[in-house]
Amino acid sequence: MTQSPTTPTGYLHGYSEEERERLHRQARFLEPMVHDRLPFRRRRRLLEVGSGVGAQTEILLRHFPEIHVTGVEINDAQIAEARRYLATVPWAQANGNPRYEIIKMDATRLDLDPESFDAAFLCWILEHVGEPARVLSEVRRVLQPGAPVVCNEVLNATFFIDPYSPDTLRYWMAFNDHQLSVGGDPFVGAKLGNLLQSVGFRDVTTDVKTFHLDNRAPASSSVSRGTRTPSSSIRSSRPERGPGDRGHAGFRPGFAPRTRRLARPPSRD
């Protein structure tokens, strides 16, 4: 079945209140990984594609005090939450004016002027669109020559959990199959380089980000229950232990490279 990109009914995570909260928690939990050394220091106009509830927008505005963020997002409830949230963030305003705008728009058809941005950031959106190359092509069109784009994505093939749990792994494969069946791609992280190159970006670099949670950091493990795809697996596989049952080390979830790619459109001079 072909899915219209303007119809988000097949969107994997849905648009519940719980999901919106998850996006906020996820962004905070993974901030050290996702926002590590982003190349936006001298940039002024950043395009954030699939800006969701504004959770990444807040972090971008905090890290880069000179930047203005234009977030594009397809879903009204996400947009409303992003606007509500960002209005409460002190560093999202400057001299009484917002340093951001959130626009309702389909990422595959950006109604934005060519070369109107000097940076772009995409986080966990390409896994949800049927035509990621089309989104990246649109991004390239609206970027100035030489402007950096950062794409952060999943590579769900790398999930591992201990103790070995065939049921959890079957669940995980079913989850991935479901994402594919609704038009997404849980393995898009591995394809970012090819995708960026295919639409004309150059100087593509890859950063493979992993996280590994174990009993050395139980606090992190509990925080991780609020994160994205691994959370379902961790929750569903967490062993129930009674008092005095000390023979087991507990659970050791490991997970999930988010593959990040940095690229620039070739300079046209």
The answer to the question of residue 156 lying near ligand SAM (CB under 6 A) is no
Tally Cβ neighbours within 10 Å of residue 179: 22
Q: Which of 58, 73, 118, 138 binds ligand SAM (CB under 6 A)?
A: 73
Q: Which is nearer to ligand SAM, 49 or 251 (CB)?
A: 49
The answer to the question of residue 106 lying near ligand SAM (CB under 6 A) is yes
Shortest separation between residue 44's beta carbon and ligand SAM, angstroms: 21
Rounded Cα gap, residues 268 and 216, in angstroms? 50
Q: Is residue 120 within 8 Å of residue 154, measured between CB atoms?
A: no
Site residues for ligand SAM, 5-44, by CB under 6 A, read: 5, 8, 11, 13, 23, 27
How big is the site for ligand SAM, counted in residues (CB under 6 A)? Answer: 24
Q: Is residue 132 within 8 Å of residue 195, measured between CB atoms?
A: yes
The answer to the question of residue 59 lying near ligand SAM (CB under 6 A) is no
Shortest separation between residue 215's beta carbon and ligand SAM, angstroms: 28
Strand 202-212 relative to strand 252-264: parallel, antiparallel, unpaired? antiparallel
Residue identified by tokens 């991780």 is 224
Q: Which of 123, 142, 150, 234 binds ligand SAM (CB under 6 A)?
A: 123
The answer to the question of residue 55 lying near ligand SAM (CB under 6 A) is yes
Is residue 150 classed as helix, strand or coil in its secondary structure? Answer: strand
Shortest separation between residue 214's beta carbon and ligand SAM, angstroms: 25
Tokens of 29: 């939990």
In terms of DSSP H, where are the helices of the chain?
Answer: 17-34, 55-63, 76-87, 132-142, 166-181, 192-198, 218-224, 229-237
Instruction: Using CB under 6 A, list all residues that contact ligand SAM.
Output: 5, 8, 11, 13, 23, 27, 50-52, 55-56, 72-75, 78, 106-108, 123-125, 128-129
